[in-house]
């Protein structure tokens, strides 16, 4: 990672952490519900999705302040999905980001409601008037709702749950993760790009293709780390995929085969980004980082 990229990531994380804190501030009152929401959102994390928003915004010369709402919205949606994925009715996980999952730190009902409230808060913030045009706000709401709904993240999670103990082939596995993981990652880039100068259809398609490749590469690396990393390093229980008898890329392709596919996806993302007229250096850096990360 270059020094410039590293500095940008640091300042971007500082920016999004501040924005997230403001999004869940005292104006919402004091309650066990907001406490649970802040617990899940402000406990750290990679902040990949908001970083992709800002990198997408850079590609279309959008002002950072015009990307803030989308960056906050995608991270709140991501946090909501993690809360719900960790529930006993879903993956029944006990550890997230090195601390007890929300339903264990609080209780199951509070965790469900906190996730529900975070989803609503995401769209509330995205719809606010803050210098973005009404057309941009509508487009971003549409992009995000499509990414998390019946054809996106929720469907991917449903397929994942239905597939426990079932041997999926590579096409089915990729299709599942293109929804569960890739849809929100792709939407993050497009939502950021929508805040700036308009793009021609080919450039928009190129950003979409890059997002899909980055999302799949990110998931493959997640699968690899579930095999190779430790619980302490991951911040979540290592080996859960195997315990839940899930189909994974290492299970189908082996570790070296999975790494090779992940690298080829990063190359595909870079080639797609070459078709975008604006600066895509940070998007390329995030694509590369998606497979070089160790947690």
Please state the rounded mean pLDDT for residues 4-10: 92
The per-residue pLDDT for 229 is: 77
Q: What is the tally of structural domains in the chain?
A: 1
Share of the chain above pLDDT 70, in %: 98
The per-residue pLDDT for 246 is: 83
Cβ atoms of residues 62 and 195 within 8 Å: yes
Neighbours of 252 (CB within 10 A): 16
The per-residue pLDDT for 197 is: 93
Mean pLDDT of the chain: 94
The per-residue pLDDT for 20 is: 97
The per-residue pLDDT for 132 is: 94
pLDDT reading at 225 higher than 80: yes
Please state the rounded mean pLDDT for residues 88-108: 93
Please state the rounded mean pLDDT for residues 45-74: 96
In this structure, the dihedral spanned by the alpha carbons of residues 40, 41, 44 and 45, taken in order and rounded to 10 degrees, is: 100
Comparing 138 with 167, which gets the higher pLDDT?
Answer: 138
Instruction: Report the CATH number at residue 286.
Output: 1.10.600.10
Please state the rounded mean pLDDT for residues 259-283: 97
Q: How confident is the model at residue 235 (pLDDT cuts 50, 70, 90)?
A: low
The per-residue pLDDT for 1 is: 67
The rounded distance, in Å, linking the Cα atoms of 193 and 206 is 12
The per-residue pLDDT for 41 is: 97
Q: What is the pLDDT of residues 78-89, one digit of tens each?
A: 999 999 999 999
Its pTM stands at 0.96
The rounded distance, in Å, linking the Cα atoms of 137 and 159 is 30
Distances (CA, A) of 197 to 59, 103, 160, 178, 269: 9, 42, 37, 27, 21
Please state the rounded mean pLDDT for residues 211-222: 96
Please state the rounded mean pLDDT for residues 192-197: 96
Name the nearest CA neighbour of 282 among 60, 91, 21, 128.
Answer: 60
* SS percent in the chain: helix, strand, coil, step 5: 70, 0, 25
pLDDT reading at 291 higher than 80: yes
Cβ atoms of residues 81 and 153 within 8 Å: yes
Q: What is the pLDDT of residues 139-166, one digit of tens each?
A: 999 999 999 999 999 999 999 999 988 8
Q: How confident is the model at residue 60 (pLDDT cuts 50, 70, 90)?
A: very high
Burial label, 161 (beta-carbon count in 10 A; 0-12, 13-18, 19+) = middle
Q: How confident is the model at residue 97 (pLDDT cuts 50, 70, 90)?
A: confident
Domain assignment of residue 123, given as a range: 3-292
Spatial CB neighbours of 170, under 8 Å, sequence gap ≥ 6 = 252, 253
Q: What is residue 96's three-state secondary structure?
A: strand
Share of the chain above pLDDT 90, in %: 83
């Amino acid at each position: 990672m270059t020094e410039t990229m590293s500095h940008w990531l640091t300042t971007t994380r500082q920016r999004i952490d501040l924005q997230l804190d403001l999004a869940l501030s005292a104006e919402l009152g004091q309650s066990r519900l907001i406490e649970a929401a802040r617990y899940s959102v402000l406990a750290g994390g990679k902040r990949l999705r908001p970083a992709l928003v800002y990198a997408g915004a850079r590609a279309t010369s959008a002002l950072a302040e015009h990307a803030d709402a989308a960056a906050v919205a995608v991270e709140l949606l991501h946090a909501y999905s993690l809360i719900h994925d960790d529930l006993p009715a879903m993956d029944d996980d006990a550890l997230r980001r090195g601390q007890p999952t929300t339903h264990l730190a609080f209780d199951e009902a509070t965790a469900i409601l906190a996730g529900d409230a975070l989803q609503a808060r995401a769209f509330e913030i995205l719809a606010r008037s803050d210098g973005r045009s009404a057309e941009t706000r509508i487009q971003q709401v549409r992009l995000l709702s499509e990414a998390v709904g019946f054809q996106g993240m929720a469907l991917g999670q449903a397929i994942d749950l239905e597939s426990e103990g079932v041997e999926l082939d590579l096409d089915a596995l990729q299709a599942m993760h293109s929804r569960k993981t890739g849809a929100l990652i792709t939407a993050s880039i497009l939502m950021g790009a929508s805040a700036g100068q308009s793009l021609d259809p080919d450039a928009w398609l190129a950003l979409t293709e890059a997002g899909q490749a980055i999302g799949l590469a990110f998931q493959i690396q997640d699968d690899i780390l579930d095999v190779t990393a430790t619980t302490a390093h991951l911040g979540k229980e290592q080996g859960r995929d195997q315990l839940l008898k899930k189909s994974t890329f290492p299970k189908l392709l082996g570790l070296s085969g999975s790494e090779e596919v992940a690298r080829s996806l990063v190359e595909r993302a870079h080639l797609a980004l070459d078709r975008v007229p604006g600066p895509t250096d940070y998007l390329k850096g995030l694509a590369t980082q998606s497979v070089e990360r160790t947690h």
